[in-house]
Amino acid sequence: MNYNYTEEILKYKRNKKLKGIFIGIGILLVALLGSTYAFFTYSKSLQAFTLTSSGITASFSSGFNQINITNGYPISDEFAIQNLNQLDYIDFTVSGNVEDEDQGLTYEIYLTENISNTLDSNYIKVYITDENGNQINSKTTPKIFNSLDNTTYSKDSSTGKVIYKLEGMPGNYSKNFRIYAWIDKDYEQNEISQEFSFYVNLYAYNSENRNGAYLIKKAALARSNDGSNCLTTVEEDGITYISGSKECINFNYVWWSGKMWRITAIYPDGAMKMITDNNITSIAFNESSVAYYDKTNGTKSYMFQWLNEDFLDTLYNQGIDVIDQTKYWNATMPADTNISTKPLETDATMIPTTISPIGLLNSYEYYKSYQNTTYGNGYLNIGYECWSLNPYSSSYVWYVLGYGYHDHPSFTYGARPSIIIKSNISLIGNGTSGNPYRIVGDKETGNQNELINTRLSGEYVKLKNENNEQVFRIVGIEDNTTKIVAMDYADNGATRKFATSDGSANTLWGSGTTTDTGTWYTYLNESYYPNLVSTYGELFDSSLYYLGTSGRNYKLSVCANTTSGNTKVCDKTTQTGTFNIGLLRYGEMFATQQGSGYSSSTNMWLINRYGSSYVWHVVDRGKGSNYDPTRSCGARPSINLSSSVKILSGTGLPDDPYIVGL
């Protein structure tokens, strides 16, 4: 049927104007490509937005980055297409020029709705054409914004709507696009001023294998074959182990859930195993049993409980969308006592990730990390002792300090949690320590003026005022206050006593030490804390600290060991104290030595008792043990930021901490 455009134009002129409707289009491009291709950086100006990498360029060719519809009318698609020359539009170009011109790439051009919109997206029509306003193909017809398919960039349906998809494009590629938008003819007009805006996004990925493992494997193999004799991988049973020296391995860093990780292995299906870049705490593996998890009776070691209860709670959304639930942890004792012997896979000691989402590397997996170099130079050797997953014998468990050693499970070494991430995880970044991969779907970086108590355990915080600054790390959020711990030792690494005299009373923080000169309690409360307040302002709140007597069971460090019948009950109402400033407790997040670049070679006090006469401390190699309170150690103070403290700038990463204030 022929369409009567004269009637349409008359109707268009008769309709009451819609006031204040504005459609703005900006552009934000995110791309996931193999490691051969550099990842994006971007810049933006008032009139143009250009984003480039060494492999792909996308830019506004017209120099304008918005479409304006002011005093607009609802119109039909037919009328719009016949009058495209009367409508505003935006032009942009997508170009690919990657090293391998045969590389298959897929581009998704998708639209993201502004969350502040007041006009329903069911009444917005969008239309993508070539640079001359011509239809690209039979599928590129005008579409209702909300009817477009969701992008595969994220499982979150609110992420964006795909307006056009180019699949399997060659590495050398360029195409110009034009986007129009108008108000659909079915919109019921009214006198209310409304607004709608959206962003144009580009998601580019390798067509044949989109998962993040492909990126890491490409990087590893490229380094292995670059002629520098800097071998970085070992292949075994289809698994690619990242293996090499510290100077070679700078392509497997991942920042996720407020922690830095290192990818250690890539499975045949593309899943990847990661380990934290540092010790996260120091605890006993177990009371006496060497079993990480006893499948026969369901008995959980201390390490199992800490990883899958305490640590798991600190991960964004508990890692539900990230952790692979189809894999196993090999907690088998090797056939001999050589760290290079691969443990067998037995039903009794292969622990599924459905039971234990978090685990540790076993002794053999740690060995694989330095197989291409020496154990002292292996990239996982950070100079601190940490537990492995599996037994050394019926009485001992493997732990590592560069090389493999063994000790009784009741001894207290560092814990470096490990996870296995799904094969379909997408990554952005280039995997270096300065620009680590980010897992798509992780919690977004904190925004300016966002409350710090909305953030993640592990992110970095800086107190800054003129020439004074101190770096802390978020331990956790409790009652809307944010507990942070100093990365450097207080008072330039000085050592002081927990108490100047022994006895049970002096093993409790703040009890019997208020008048003891030369103790950490006195120094921190009389000098350190007042100086923080005078330098950075009223950012802090007093808070409850748990002082429980824990022995080797870290759970008892937060409560009294009481019983109800035959059941132990954790009573958090006793053995606590409210202080302006304190220390971390045994088993708490980051209650251990923390990495190079900080003053990390001094023995340090923790806040709670080991027993009636001793206090917990952590030695310079990361091992925890009981200590006489009259001995001297260093201290990393902890303090609580008030609920009103906000982010002023920064990203929360180690090299760019959040700067906070009121």
Q: What is the pLDDT of residues 133-163, one digit of tens each?
A: 999 887 899 999 999 998 876 655 557 889 9
Q: How many Å apart are CA 128 and CA 138, to the nearest integer?
A: 12
Q: Within this chain, do residues 276 and 175 fall inside the same structural domain, yes or no?
A: no
Check whether residue 158 and residue 291 sit in a common domain.
Answer: no
> How many domains in the chain?
3
- State how far the Cα of 647 lies from the Cα of 662, in Å rounded to an integer: 8
Instruction: Say how far apart CA 198 and CA 117 lie, in whole Å.
Output: 9
Residues 542 and 611 in one domain: yes
**C-alpha–C-alpha distance, residues 46 and 341, integer Å:** 61
Of the residues 206, 240, 257, the one at which a domain ends: 206
> Bridge-partner residues for 471, per DSSP?
462
Task: Tell whether 134 and 256 lie within a shared domain.
Answer: no
> For residue 440, is it within any domain?
no
Output the CA torsion sign for 380, 385, 388, 394. Answer: positive
Q: Is residue 509 in some structural domain? A: yes
Helix, strand, or coil (residue 196): coil
- Has residue 433 been placed in a domain? no
- Domain membership of residue 613 as a residue range: 447-661
CA distances to 213, 332, 345, 423 from 242, rounded to whole Å, are: 12, 22, 21, 17
Report the chain (662 residues): mean pLDDT per 10 consecutive residues.
35 36 39 28 30 50 54 84 86 71 67 81 92 88 93 65 79 82 84 76 60 75 73 89 93 96 93 96 97 95 97 95 96 95 95 98 97 94 95 97 94 97 83 89 91 97 88 94 94 88 83 77 94 94 90 86 64 82 96 67 90 92 93 95 95 95 92
- Whole-number Å distance between alpha carbons of 188 and 612: 76
Q: Are residues 601 and 515 in the same domain?
A: yes
| Rounded (to 5) percent helix, strand, coil in the chain | 15, 35, 50
Question: Residue 198 falls within a domain, yes or no?
Answer: yes
- At 120, is the secondary structure helix, strand, or coil? coil
Does 501 fall in a domain?
Answer: yes
pLDDT at res. 396: 98
> With the CA atoms of 352, 353, 354 and 359 taken in that order, what torsion angle do they form, in degrees rounded to the nearest 10?
110
Same domain? 455 vs 394: no
Residue pair 233/221 in contact by the 8 Å Cβ criterion: yes
Cβ(587)–Cβ(557) under 8 Å? Answer: yes
Instruction: Please check whether residue 412 is in contact with residue 402, taking contact to mean a CB–CB distance below 8 angstroms.
Output: no
Identify whether 437 is part of a domain: no
One domain for residues 418 and 469: no
C-alpha span between 184 and 2 (Å, rounded): 20
How much is the pTM? 0.72
Tell me whether residue 467 is in a domain.
yes
Same domain, 292 and 353: yes
Same domain assignment for residues 186 and 291: no
Q: So what's the pLDDT on residue 32?
A: 32
Last residue of a domain, one of 206, 231, 249: 206
**In a shared domain, residues 424 and 317:** yes
- Radius of gyration over every alpha carbon of the chain, rounded to an integer in angstroms: 29
Q: Point out the domain boundary residue: 206, 223, 243.
A: 206
Indicate whether 174 and 35 sit together in one domain.
Answer: yes
